[in-house]
Amino acid sequence: MRHLQPLPTQSFTDEEKKRLENLGSNGDVLDKSQWGDWTSSVVNHQVTAEQVLEGLGSLEYTR
């Protein structure tokens, strides 16, 4: 994104330019030794298509 130019009909505000300059500099660091231990930041549940279509009301939330 940082390297893309605005569209011909587009112009960036000063705030947008500042945000563009900071892309990729948020400071987050991934600990590669933990890869494979976490699949997401929430608990994952396997569900059926029927459960999804019914709104997951039948899903029990357990840890």
pLDDT digits (tens, 9 = 90+) for 5-41: 889 999 889 999 888 888 877 766 777 777 666 666 6
Examine residue 39 and state whether it is found in any structural domain, yes or no: no
The residue that leads in pLDDT, 44 or 18, is 18
Examine residue 36 and state whether it is found in any structural domain, yes or no: no
Examine residue 12 and state whether it is found in any structural domain, yes or no: yes
Give the CB-side neighbour count of residue 53, counting CA atoms within 13 A: 3
Number of domains forming the structure of the chain: 1
Candidates 61, 40, 58; CA nearest to 48 is 58
Examine residue 10 and state whether it is found in any structural domain, yes or no: yes
Examine residue 56 and state whether it is found in any structural domain, yes or no: no
Q: What pLDDT is recorded for position 58?
A: 59
The residue that leads in pLDDT, 57 or 8, is 8
Examine residue 2 and state whether it is found in any structural domain, yes or no: yes
Sequence-separated (6 or more) residues with CB below 8 Å from residue 59:
45, 47, 51
Which residue range forms the structural domain that includes residue 7? 1-27
Range scoring the smallest mean pLDDT among 22-26, 41-45, 49-53: 41-45
**What amino acid occupies position 26?**
N
Examine residue 9 and state whether it is found in any structural domain, yes or no: yes
